[in-house]
Amino acid sequence: MGKKTTVDGQILYELKGDKLSLKAQCENKTDKSLDLTYQLKIAQTDSGNNSVSNSQGGKKELAAHESKILSSSTLSWREGSSITVTLNIYHKKKLLDSNTLTLPVEEEEGKSGKK
């Protein structure tokens, strides 16, 4: 309470048939430009208990009040799959926002995994 949020990170997703599209998005809520680094981790397990993991990261500059897609990925999706996606956003090595999206087997379609 009283502490102002400087950035808002979100994990957006869309499921179409057997393809799951993921996007990591960040909004700069300050009045100044920010040089950010981010890490997007994806861990997927199928019904046969086979697992796949992927980690993406990078640097982005966001102007004041700008919103930008940091990363995007498309995965195969099968019935019985589960996935956990984690987005961490940093400024000068300080964690500014963290977001986790978990999709269970019965999940179908949605917009954001903001906690």
Domains and CATH numbers, the chain: 7-103 (2.60.40.2420)
Q: Which residue type is seen at 72?
A: S
For residue range 12-62, list pLDDT tens digits in order: 999 998 999 999 999 999 999 999 999 999 999 988 888 989 999 999 999
Per-residue pLDDT at 1: 42
Q: Which of 63, 57, 49, 66 is nearest to 24 (CA)?
A: 57
What tokens were used for 105? 């087997």
Compare 113 and 95 and report the one with higher pLDDT: 95
Q: What is the pTM of this model?
A: 0.83
Least confident of 29-33, 51-55, 73-77, 109-113: 109-113
10 Å Cβ neighbour count for 72?
13
What is the residue-averaged pLDDT of the chain?
A: 88
